[in-house]
Amino acid sequence: MDQAPGSPQEPQDAHSLPSCYRHPGRDTGITCTRCERPICPDCMVSASVGFHCPECVRSGSGTGHSATANQPRTVAGGAASASPHLVTKILLAINAAVFIAALASDRVVSDLALVGQWPPAPFSPVEGVAEGQWYRLVTSMFLHQAVWHFAFNMLGLWWLGGPLEQALGRIRYLALYLLSGLAGSAFTYLLASPDQASLGASGAIFGLLGATAVLMRRLNYDMRPVIALLALNLLFTFTWSGIAWEAHVGGLIAGTAIAFGLVHAPREHRTLVQAGTCALVLIATVVTVLARTVALT
């Protein structure tokens, strides 16, 4: 009888682990609880019992209430999706659309950039966050002006965001991205000069980087690559001129804290702990913005 490639019935070396059926050469000791194919941490989807492979997640099992009750969940308890990168693609599209608009008109930059109170040329005269334009804390997260800045952040969003969206689920991943970016904006507003204009998705990207480290630690993955990447990015943050390091640090702190709450929440109180973690980060961000606004006005 023919066997599917990479199936558990295929002969294996007695001294080696089987390879992931989707990533040949990547050894793993984890198998899908439905089809028993070997899967690596990048492919496994947390379920009520064990882990499932992407194909079993897409095909589902059973019908009606049984299928709903046995729906595979992600590591963080989110619903597994057959299109796990959808939110990442939408975020990429929004950033690209705003970038094109900024290239077409300088007015877009002056209207959307993060400015504390009174901006420098060529943005003046406009009002800033302290004058009530709080929306700048959000719009600046999607705004880029330099091609290299846009390209670097979007590559980071694709490389880090896709796997995180698959591991966390869409809603939790989107909350992680938005709250990390908002925290980065708030930290910049708090510490940077009020007349310093800043923009970019770097706060959100650093949040994804911190979350990646937390997730890899949770899955007992090799931490050396992500630690090296984090160290390299922090080196650039504090050595290159013209970089708003406050956004990087604020996003990193928020993303790490949120991810810890998402992946380490106890199953019996998972939703409460996860929502509470996100709420605490949001409250801290709002308090920071209010305190800075009072100080400036």
80, part of any domain: no
77, part of any domain: no
146 in the same domain as 113: yes
State whether residue 204 is helix, strand or coil: helix
At residue 63, the pLDDT reads: 38
Would you please indicate which residues are annotated as catalytic (active-site) residues? 202, 248
At residue 201, the pLDDT reads: 95
The answer to whether residue 199 scores a pLDDT higher than 90 is: yes
The answer to whether residue 124 scores a pLDDT higher than 70 is: no
At residue 139, the pLDDT reads: 96
153, part of any domain: yes
152 in the same domain as 203: yes
Mean pLDDT value of segment 129-145: 94
* CATH code for the domain in which residue 95 is found: 1.20.1540.10
Domain boundary among 12, 47, 72: 72
Total domains in the fold of the chain:
2
List the structure tokens of 79: 């619903």
209, part of any domain: yes
2 in the same domain as 108: no
139, part of any domain: yes
Question: In sequence order, what DSSP letters do the residues of 22-67 get, joined into one string?
Answer: SSTT-B-S-B-TTT--B--TTT-EE-SSSEE-HHHHHH--SSHHHH
> Beta strands of the chain (E only): which ranges?
45-46, 51-52
Domain boundary among 20, 48, 72: 72
Mean pLDDT value of segment 187-198: 91
| pLDDT tens column, 151-160 | 999 999 999 9
At residue 82, the pLDDT reads: 65
Domain boundary among 31, 49, 72: 72
225 in the same domain as 93: yes
125, part of any domain: yes
At 255, which helix (H) or strand (E)?
helix 245-264
123 in the same domain as 150: yes
Give CA–CA dist 245/247, Å, rounded. Answer: 5
At residue 12, the pLDDT reads: 42
281, part of any domain: yes
91 in the same domain as 44: no
At residue 49, the pLDDT reads: 57
125 in the same domain as 213: yes
154 in the same domain as 22: no
217 in the same domain as 135: yes
- Looking at every residue in the chain, the average pLDDT score rounds to 84
Give CA–CA dist 128/137, Å, rounded. Answer: 10
273 in the same domain as 187: yes
| pLDDT tens column, 54-80 | 888 777 643 333 344 455 677 777 776
Query: Is residue 8 within 8 Å of residue 31, measured between CB atoms?
Result: yes
Give the confidence band of 123 by pLDDT, cuts at 50, 70, 90: low
| pLDDT tens column, 277-296 | 999 999 999 999 999 999 98
277, part of any domain: yes
| pLDDT tens column, 234-283 | 888 888 777 889 999 999 999 999 999 999 999 889 899 999 999 999 99
* CATH code for the domain in which residue 26 is found: 3.30.40
Q: What pTM, to 2 d.p., does this model score?
A: 0.75
61 in the same domain as 90: no
213 in the same domain as 282: yes
Q: Which structural domain, as residue segments, surrounds residue 48?
A: 1-72
At residue 290, the pLDDT reads: 96
